[in-house]
Amino acid sequence: MTSKQEVILSGIRPTGRLHYGNYFGAMKSFIDLQEKGHQCFYFIADYHALTTVTERVDILQQTIDMLRTYVACGLDPVRSVIYRQSDLPCTAELALLLGMITNIGHLERGTTYKDKMSKLAESSQGGEGNPLSYGLLGYPVLMAADILIVRANQVPVGDDQRQHVEMAIDIAQKFNHRFGETLSIPRAVERNALRLPGLDGAAKMGKSDNNTLDLLDDPKTVLKKIKGVQTTTDPEPLDTESNDPDMVIPKMPYSVGALYRLLSLLAPEDVYLDFVGKYRRGEKFYGTLKTTLAEYVSKFNEPIIEGFNAPNNTPDSIKDFLHENAKKVTPVGLETVESCRQAMGIGRSLYRA
């Protein structure tokens, strides 16, 4: 254990397949932090998956496939504690306790909730009162419980989750202020956190928007998806001298920006710079950009697909380590919940004592 070792926690919902937004927004940092020797807790947010279900879905199957992808990407279930959220059920108890101090107004300002509300208003389904679930409104409280239960210092997530981490910080500060120093306060999300645009030109790549490039896509699918990206014939002039992706890409239309962002993440710098030069000069180059990018993407996907299908990465081997890792995370989880119970005045659980 190094003196700078920190507690890291993050999770991903079990949507079945990881996309490039998940990978470069979150998973890449999961791996880097694991390699740096931090104490890492990475989980699959299967409770959170239930906030949007309208019919029965095989969440367990999707969870196992996500975990096989975690392993294929390089997460190591021995060095990192990889678990299912629902295997740490005291998270739900902590969420209940934290819910007692969370203002409804605060939750109603949450971006996920607000987005769903405005989609409802557009579809004029709002007739019989608010049909959104209590679970969806409480999504950030459950997420705060995930983070605070292991006393995380750092939460590697993409830019879209920034507000949720800020809510967790607010909730923890409020708890400590009201009941005494009990919870550890995590750091806010870094300013340069990524938001990868969707292949359809939306500001964000997201599973429910059907605009993703996935880590398990085979070369044919990759090429088809990338060729389908809408590219304007005449690039807009870039009013910056800089070639830094963070300066250049926001000046491009989102769908073109998605291609350039992927290129900057996957290709050597000279290849990326060459295409930035072509964009500036207004050459006709989108065809080559797409085939070049598709090759880099398929090359990137190849070992992940192989790892996903490897004989030592079966659903049974996943179940084995899930069992072991649930045992590793439970002590810290119970300790946090018990200290919150005590701080709030209901005392320790007699059943667990």
Which residues are the active-site residues? 116, 204, 207
Burial of 188 (0-12, 13-18, 19+ CB in 10 A): middle
* Secondary structure of residue 25 in the 3-state scheme: helix
CB of 40 vs ligand TYM, minimal distance in Å: 12
Four-point Cα dihedral 27, 25, 1, 39, nearest 10: -70
- Residue 106 or 195 having the CB closest to ligand TYM: 195
Binding residues vs ligand TYM (CB under 6 A): 9-13, 21-22, 25-26, 45, 48, 143, 146-147, 155, 157-158, 160-161, 164, 194-196, 204-206
CB of 330 vs ligand TYM, minimal distance in Å: 17
Distances (CA, A) of 309 to 47, 65, 71, 118, 304: 26, 10, 11, 41, 9
- Residue 60 or 310 having the CB closest to ligand TYM: 60
- Residue 132 or 310 having the CB closest to ligand TYM: 132
Q: Which residues contact 308 (CB under 8 A, 6 or more apart)?
A: 68, 69, 72, 216
Q: Are 88 and 333 in contact (CB under 8 A)?
A: yes
CB of 39 vs ligand TYM, minimal distance in Å: 15
CB of 205 vs ligand TYM, minimal distance in Å: 4
CA–CA dist 82, 177 (Å, integer): 32
CB of 125 vs ligand TYM, minimal distance in Å: 23
Q: Are 107 and 144 in contact (CB under 8 A)?
A: no
Residue with the shortest CB distance to ligand TYM:
25
- Residue 9 or 183 having the CB closest to ligand TYM: 9
Query: In which element (H, E) is residue 135 found?
Result: helix 134-137
- Residue 143 or 329 having the CB closest to ligand TYM: 143
Distances (CA, A) of 245 to 59, 169, 307: 37, 30, 30
CA–CA dist 18, 295 (Å, integer): 19
